[in-house]
């Protein structure tokens, strides 16, 4: 083989290996992130509105990676919040009060997750509540507190450091106009009280 031919072959091999590496890195990055295609924003809450019948390739890849299942909008809706009502990032060093009234669904769950949407905290700690567990006051309002210092009532401990995500699942949403018709007042408020 001539030196020029060898140089061209080495350049081709380097190009192919670089392309493969960049493709794998970009696929890994895209499947670990929530992608903002067709997303509902309501205060601090956001939800991907891609229906189960036709999920985009990134949603399919994320579901395959996590072992999750896509629900049709009539079956369920997952909303996430990474900020409070004032737009500040949720941090494990702070204390928060989450409150709401009626929700646009037959049943709901509220859980803590890290920013990769994996369950946050230790297995020994409670990581969420359901609509059948929380008590409501005379006006129908329920309250859950999050923080490091244990408080009476409905409380979720924040462990670890840095940011976290709240995940709200609404099952059998009762929204006649579709998910886009969910008003801000139907979703929980997230208020920061103190920070360490």
Task: Kindly report the pTM of this predicted structure.
Answer: 0.69
Whether residue 40 sits in one domain with residue 27: no
- Tokens, residue 59: 């949603």
How far is the first Cα of the chain from the last one, in angstroms, to the nearest whole number? 68
Whether residue 97 sits in one domain with residue 25: no
pLDDT at 51 over 90: no
Contact assessment for residue 80 and residue 167, using Cβ atoms and an 8 Å cutoff:
yes
Bridge partners of 61, per DSSP, are none
CA-based max dimension of the chain: 88
| Cα distances (Å, whole numbers) of residue 139 to 132, 149, 158, 189 | 17, 27, 28, 16
Which of 47, 108, 107, 51 shows the shortest CA–CA distance to 80? 47
Q: What is the pLDDT of residues 71-113, one digit of tens each?
A: 655 567 888 899 999 999 999 999 999 998 877 778 889 999 8
Mean pLDDT in the chain? Answer: 78
Query: Residue 117 is part of which domain span?
Result: 36-195
Whether residue 185 sits in one domain with residue 155: yes
Whether residue 47 sits in one domain with residue 18: no
| 120: three-class secondary structure by DSSP | coil
How crowded is residue 192: how many other Cβ atoms within 10 Å of its Cβ? 18
Whether residue 42 sits in one domain with residue 2: no
Q: Check the CA dihedral 52-61-106-165 and report its sign.
A: negative
Mean pLDDT computed over 183-190: 84
């Amino acid at each position: 083989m001539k030196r020029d031919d060898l140089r061209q072959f080495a350049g081709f091999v380097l190009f192919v290996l670089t392309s493969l590496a960049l493709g794998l890195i970009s696929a890994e990055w895209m499947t670990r992130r929530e992608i903002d295609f067709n997303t509902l924003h309501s205060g601090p809450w956001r939800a991907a509105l891609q229906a189960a019948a036709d999920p985009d390739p990134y949603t399919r890849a994320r579901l395959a990676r996590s072992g999750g299942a896509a629900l049709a909008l009539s079956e369920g809706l997952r909303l996430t919040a990474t900020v409070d009502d004032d737009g500040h990032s949720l941090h494990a060093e702070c204390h928060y009060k989450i409150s709401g009234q009626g929700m646009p669904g037959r049943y709901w769950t509220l859980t803590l997750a890290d920013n990769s949407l994996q369950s946050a905290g230790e297995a020994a700690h409670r990581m969420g509540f359901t609509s059948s567990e929380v008590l409501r006051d005379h006006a129908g309002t329920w309250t859950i507190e999050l923080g490091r210092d244990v408080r009476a009532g409905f409380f979720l401990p924040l462990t670890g450091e840095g940011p976290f995500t709240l995940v709200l699942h609404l099952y059998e949403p009762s929204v006649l106009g579709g998910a886009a018709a969910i008003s801000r007042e139907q979703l929980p408020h997230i208020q920061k009280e103190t920070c360490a």
